[in-house]
Amino acid sequence: MRILGIDPGSETTGWGVIEDDGRRYRLLECGAICALKAQRFPARLLRIANALEEIIQRHNPDACSLEDGFLATNVKVTLKLGQVRGVAMLVAERAGLQIHEYSPRLVKQTVVGHGNAEKFQVQQMVKNLLSLASVPEPHDAADALAVAICHFHHARSAQRLMTAQTAAVLPKHSLDGLSIRRPVRRRIS
């Protein structure tokens, strides 16, 4: 499975594409989409959309995982972040990708082991989990990779749970495949 992780930001949007073979993760590419400070905000959104479309075409991911929004102290910052997230979701939806959202706390808890982890701890774990020589730069790219790793972890858990539930619901077949074993009801007198 191939995942595009996105860490949305109005000035810098981090992204990373990783693959999973069931045993380990492999980094394909990561980077950041940097907006020019002089650009009008709608032009920044267009730049982010165009860059994400190009990344999706180049890597053909199976799904997209986004860091969920958080409430900043400045309402304008929160609204702009929401708009960037909307653009990223629109691009992913248009490409037909499954979209998964994870809170920053859940990403930290999944990757590091506790939800109050510091940024450098997340970056070090991303480096270790992807067997990299150094921490991915810029830090927005490392954050995007952490979101993708978080998705792999939770997608695997969901798949295992679904498999277990399906196995519990399906009837047991006999070895010849013709008869179905039904529960034996005994009457106690």
Catalytic residues: 7, 67, 140
Burial 155-180 (b: 16+ CB within 10 A, else e): beeeeeeeeeeeeeeeeeeeeeeeee
Classify residue 68 as exposed, middle or buried by CB count within 10 Å of its CB (0-12, 13-18, 19+): middle
Angle subtended at Cα 168 by Cα 163 and Cα 173, rounded to the nearest 5 degrees: 105
Question: Are β-strands 63-67 and 25-34 bridged in parallel, bridged antiparallel, or unpaired?
Answer: unpaired
Separation of alpha carbons 143 and 181, rounded Å:
51
| Cβ neighbours of residue 79 closer than 8 Å, sequence gap 6 or more | none
